[in-house]
A and B are shown apart, each in its own frame.
Chain A
Amino acid sequence: MRAVSYVERLEFDFPGSVFKNAFLFGDVDNDKCEELVVGNENGDVYIYKGSASKCWRRASDLGMVTAIGVGDIFNAGRNSLVVVNGEGWCYIFDFLTDTCSDGELPMKPTHVQRIPANTKVLLLHDVNSDGMIELVIGLTDRVVRTYQWINTKLVGLNKWEFANQIGTVGINDMANRTPSLLVAHPGGTFIRLKCKPLENCEDHGKEEPRELLSKMSIDYHPLAYSHMRNPNVSTEILGNISQGISHQDENQGALYAVATLDGTLMMVRDEQILWSLQVDHQLFALSKLDITGDGREEVVACSWDGQTYIVNQEKQTVRFQFDQSVSAFTAGYYSLNSQSSSLPAFAYATFHNKIYVYYNVSLPRITLHTSSELLKTKSENLDENLLKYLTNPSKLSEIFAKTLYK
């Protein structure tokens, strides 16, 4: 397997331990530049912006921060920061009226609300396609809830209770472009929740109340995979992996990836496993990022010991070994300064009070190629002298060597 080493990185001091869902890239202040948001179990939330090693904004005394989200929770066309702690408080920070000086004073939340305790995952997405962003939380109590901002507070919409522990909650578009929630369950299984009322019910559904829970469909998917070793192993799921415009098929659902702690990574579409990859590291975090810049997102899976796998949709893989144990991992875009564009980045939170951001992780391609293969793709512009050598690689490389090095 090909391996790469990234060099360009930023190092941040961040005390305390980080939950894996309290660590993400996002544009909290709506300046089109992505920041890194991280929270610890002592109630501190730091926001890092640009290449400064000091945090840009911070908040404290937020309890045991277990999950963080950045999104348009107010449905006001701008992002806000949502912080949820294990004790059952939801804090929303709005950067619209942001006046505090650089990182000195702690931020004040614009909204604080009591929600059920024990949140472990958080998602901000329009899950019932009503055009409004919902807050989806998954609890360690095997419960998934959705909330929506209505007037002055978050109002609960749905609640599902499951028989098994929840790994992560992901969002995935189905074939008819309606979103569904994927709730990962142990052993590489998941449940698909369709929050939008079924199509055939829509005609007379107009008179019925929108919140009618019985109309919602729940499907359990065991994902029959023979190599699955342990039915109790924890599972990560990640939906809506962008296939790029050229590969999109309206009649099929979006791609999603499933990873288990025993080292299985699967690419799935419409409950069909497209491929699976077995690695000998414990995969605990799953992200997606367009590393090659071709419009198709790669799946990035990270293990506790820092081994990071970048897998494209053809199952071609590149490895990157981060040198330390990892408590949280995320992939996304990060802006070094407001002038330059955002760069694809990996962020690792370690167990030693440090955060590392590798801020330029793009690769020209996942597989290795040679100059002669690149020349073949340009064959329409070649003269006949070169064309006749295209089938003779050794002669071609001789010409290359002679021309380039004399």
Chain B
Amino acid sequence: MDDSITPNKFHDCHIFSLSSQGSIYTLCRLPNPNPYGRIRLLAASLRRPVFLLEFNHGYKESLVPYSRELSFTYLPGNAEIVSITSFSKPGSSNTVIGVAYIKVGNTETGQCLNIFTVKESGSDLNADGLAFSCSFEINFIPYHLTHCLCSNEVTIVLSGSDNRVHLFTEDSNTHIAQEKIASDEFPEFGNEFPSVVLWIEFHILKEKSLRLTAVGCECGGFFLYVVDTESNSIKSYANVNHGTSVTSSKFFDSSDSIHLLVTSSLLPATVYRNVLENQLNDSVILVGSDKHDVLTCSIVCDIHMDQLPTILLGTYGQELLAYRPENLEWSLAWQRSFSHPILALDYCDVTGDGVRELVALTTRGVQILQHDLEEVVALFLKRHSLSNLQKE
């Protein structure tokens, strides 16, 4: 079918250089796009600053890349940022940014979770609009920081070196963060895990009031929970061992069922099919995905624009691997070399034209790759005229 674009035809859009290396946890999107509909990204490097990356209008309608340091107060100079996350609370336009860091040095050491609330003052997100912030001392080394929308409230989820997953909420009125008891709303985090949790992934099914939670551990242990969000009870539970550290996992919808992609550091990535029914019993291996050093990150997206999911795997061996469904298997469709090891991936519209861009955090910076616009516009016009014909 000639209804997709040429795979792996990208042009270098821009590379935002970072002063020091980030980690697999230091790239996230801001919840609210800028006024031109362009998605803004946050990228943190180990030795501070957190950068806001976006595209602005330049001379003659052209786009100009723009990066700005978000200078948060209460982020000490000796902080080493481990992970960041960003979200907005339901019914509020404020942006909340969570930063987990370690204080290194001779005098003051320890670990903290900072939660910043930034007022969205009209258009511009700037540090002056920082409305509230709170710093929360934690007694474990932070790992994956993420968030989950649960019963109309966003819970900040942070895994730690104590093999547990900790939950935090920020009170909307007092802006004081406090740790939540896990078993109340997140019964899946009630117990200690066998080793440090490296990756947590949620998938909410509102109409079924179910939450799927995937937890990957450093020892290779991988847990899948199906939680009933009405009664806050675990409906089902499964676990497998992946042998080597689980580096990421992603839920995705395809042909009316939910599948789960799991990457582990040294072994090939695995797709568990239809996890709602089969849990972790129906698996398929992405052959050859272990050939390029550690698998660091993954996304599942419609990068071919043909309504079929494509699995993109980022490797430390500077290769991006793309797997496509073929019958019941997944096979390597293409791969692309990068100039530096890949740490995190995203596929979102940073240019604000409706066409998404491939975003890769590498050890050097944040690289943005744009589709070949001639081809995308041709496909758009073709589909548009086709849909007009159908309407008539």
Partner pick for A370 among B12, B63, B372, B381, CB 8 A cutoff: B63
Is B373's beta carbon under 8 Å from chain A?
A: yes
Instruction: Judge whether A393 and B36 touch: CB under 8 Å.
Output: yes
Given A5-B15, A369-B373, A405-B302, A400 and B354 touching (CB < 8 A)? yes
Instruction: Judge whether B373 and A370 touch: CB under 8 Å.
Output: yes
Instruction: Judge whether A397 and B37 touch: CB under 8 Å.
Output: yes
Instruction: Judge whether B354 and A372 touch: CB under 8 Å.
Output: yes
Tell me the smallest distance from the CB of A381 to a CB of chain B, in Å.
8
CA distance A386 to B194 in the complex (A): 57
Chain B residues with CB under 8 A of A396: 353-354
Chain A residues with CB under 8 A of B16: 3
Partner pick for B12 among A316, A363, A397, A400, CB 8 A cutoff: A363
Closest-by-CB residue of B relative to A406 is B307
CA distance A405 to B304 in the complex (A): 9
Chain A residues with CB under 8 A of B65: 2-3, 368
CA distance A402 to B15 in the complex (A): 28
Instruction: Judge whether A368 and B64 touch: CB under 8 Å.
Output: yes
Instruction: Judge whether A371 and B376 touch: CB under 8 Å.
Output: yes
Tell me which residues from 349 to 365 in chain B have a Cβ below 8 Å from any Cβ of chain A.
Answer: 349, 351-356, 364
Closest-by-CB residue of B relative to A315 is B59
Please give the number of chain B residues whose Cβ is less than 8 angstroms from any Cβ of chain A in the complex: 47
Is A401's beta carbon under 8 Å from chain B?
A: yes
Instruction: Judge whether A403 and B387 touch: CB under 8 Å.
Output: yes
CA distance A370 to B353 in the complex (A): 6
Tell me the smallest distance from the CB of B335 to a CB of chain A, in Å.
12
Tell me the smallest distance from the CB of B348 to a CB of chain A, in Å.
11
Partner pick for B353 among A372, A381, A406, CB 8 A cutoff: A372
B residues at A contact (CB < 8 Å) = 11-17, 36-37, 55, 58, 60-65, 302, 305, 307, 337-340, 349, 351-356, 364, 367, 370, 372-374, 376-377, 379-381, 383-385, 387-388
Kindly list the 7 A-B residue pairs having the minimum CB-CB distance in the complex, ordered from nearest: A400-B354, A370-B353, A397-B354, A367-B62, A368-B63, A401-B354, A4-B12
New A-B pairs, 7, CB < 8 Å, besides A3-B15, A369-B62, A375-B380: A4-B15, A363-B11, A368-B63, A368-B351, A393-B36, A396-B354, A404-B354
Q: What are 18 A-B interface contacts by the 8 Å CB criterion?
A: A2-B64, A5-B339, A5-B340, A369-B62, A370-B353, A371-B354, A371-B373, A371-B380, A373-B61, A374-B377, A385-B388, A393-B36, A397-B349, A400-B353, A400-B355, A401-B349, A403-B380, A406-B307
A residues at B contact (CB < 8 Å) = 2-8, 316, 321, 363-364, 367-375, 378, 381-383, 385-386, 393-394, 396-406
